[in-house]
Each structure stands twice: as C-alpha cells, then as structure tokens.
Amino acid sequence: GTRITAQTLLEKKRAHEPITAVTAADYPTARLLDEAEIDLILVGDSLAMATLGHENTLSITMDEMLHHARAVSRGAPHSFLVGDMPYGSYHVSEEEAVRNALRFIREAGMAAVKLEGAHPSLVARLAAAEIQVVGHLGLTPQAVHRMGGYKVQGRTLDAAEALLEDALALEHAGAVALVLEGIPRELAERITRHLEIPTIGIGAGPGCDGQILVFHDLFHLTFAPSAKFVRRFGDAASLFRDGLADFKHEVATRTFPADSESYHLPVAVAQAMAQ
Ligand code: KIV
Ligand code: NA
C-alpha cells in the first residue's frame, strides 16, 4: 500500500470515514499498528509515563523522543507519522521550536509534529518551514500544573467559545489536523463541524473525525486506574503475567527447555566424547 498523508486524512474527513490513530514508542508496536492499517501513529510524549515510568510528561527530552521516534519510523512504512514536541522544546523561542521540529523530520522520519496549546504564530512559522503541524487543544497534559490536575476543559460558555476560537486560529495558521483531548462531546462536535481539517479525539466523544488512544491503555499495559474514556481492547498485562508464571513453573519443573528445543552434537562427536 501507499503512505497515508495529511491529504488522505482530509479526504477521510470529507468522506465521513473515521480516522484511526494510536500511539507507539517502539519498533514492534509500530509494525503492528502499520500492519493493522491504523491511519496515524503518534510518538506521543505520554511514552514518558507509559514506557519510562515517569510521573507526567514534563521531564521527557527531545533526545529521548527522537530515540523512540526513530524506532517507530523503522517499523511503519504506511501510517502517517507524528512526533510529539516535548515540554520545553517549543516554549523558549520560535527559532528553537523550528530547530527541534526539524529534528523529528530529518533525524526520525516523522511526517509531522504535534504541539499542545494555542500557538498559531508558531504553527504558521513551522508551516513556512515545510513542517506539517498537528495541533492539540483541551486537556493538554504539559499544562498539568496550570490546570491543577488532569481536568476536563471547556465546560463553561467562555471556555468553550475560547476553545473554538483557538481551533479556528490553528486551522488558519496551517495546522493539518487537531487533537481534541478531555472536552465535552458537544463542544468537540461543534469544533469538528466548524473546521475543515480533521479533529482526532481522546476523551472528546464520538463526534470527532477520528479517535486516538494510547497503545498501553488500549491493551491494559498500565498499572493505575484508567480514565473514563479508555476502552480496553485486550489485556496484555494478564497475558504477560500468565505467561511469566508458566515460564517460571516450566523452568522450575525442568519441562523447559525440551529436547526439541535443544541443540545436539553430531553423532560422531558425541561418540568420540563418550570414549
Ligand atoms: O502523548 C500522547 O499520547 C498524546 C495523545 C493522547 C493525543 O498526546
Ligand atoms: Na502528548
């Protein structure tokens, strides 16, 4: 098959075909998502928690994100690849943001970068450098301290109207898609109707043009209670727990490895050794 592009995503929105998106942080996950024909793979900074055990997304660095992004791009020849700009990588100056975004494209094979918040002038600056940008509004985890926790956003009339204005500003600045996270479904539906670019929701209800989940949430490879919007499509933690218990048991009882899982000396060498 051919590579999914921003144009493909736009055409899907226009045809009312839902867009699928999942995060990945490593090569095998990327292989599986790409083979499953998931449209968009996000190397999300949620990997700070999901794969590295951090408390939140604030401490992950550009170099760490690139390490994961390179592994993902090696495994995903078809999906639209998005690198998540980590906290601090686009907050100091627009020059530094362009430089960091370019690294995702040039060093890690990403087709686009994603950044949180209403930064239309930065999005325009990146677009002018031929860098495709996915916006991200609503519950933006890099703003955890300002939000006072991970709370649903846009629940007052003023906040809802501000979010719609921010979404329109990002579209006008040249964003190719917009992630909507942790907002009321009615607001996500309204934003989706007003935008020409596709919206991709997480905790934003069924009215978005697409849905994204974190891979580790999808398959219950997590160690804390899940948010309301997470649906489990498999139980990897149980699969691994059961498999590890079996492995321990079969080693302890010397039923692993079997003769068929062992190498043998050539008969002549075995005979010579037995002399
Ligand atoms: O980092 C991430 O996984 C994300 C998605 C939840 C949109 O930003
Ligand atoms: Na993220």
**Does the beta carbon of 217 sit less than 6 angstroms from any atom of ligand 1?**
no
Rounded to whole angstroms, how far apart are CA atoms 90 and 224? 30
Residues in the chain: 275
User: 120-159 pLDDT, tens per residue?
Assistant: 999 999 999 999 999 999 999 999 999 999 999 999 999 9
Rounded to whole angstroms, how far apart are CA atoms 197 and 240? 40
Both structure tokens of 231: 């649906």
Domain 6-234 has CATH 3.50.50.100: no
User: 210-242 pLDDT, tens per residue?
Assistant: 999 999 999 999 999 999 999 999 999 999 999
On whether the CB atoms of residues 105 and 138 are closer than 8 A, the answer is: no
Give the mutation target among 23, 47, 49, 218 for probing the ligand 1 site: most ligand atoms within 8 A of CB: 23
Using the mean position of ligand 2's atoms as its centre, give its distance from the Cα of residue 127 in Å.
20
Q: Which residue is closest in CA terms to ligand 1's atom 2?
A: 44
Going from N- to C-terminal start, the domains of the chain cover 6-234, 239-274
Answer yes or no: pTM beyond 0.95: yes
ipTM, two decimals, is 0.99
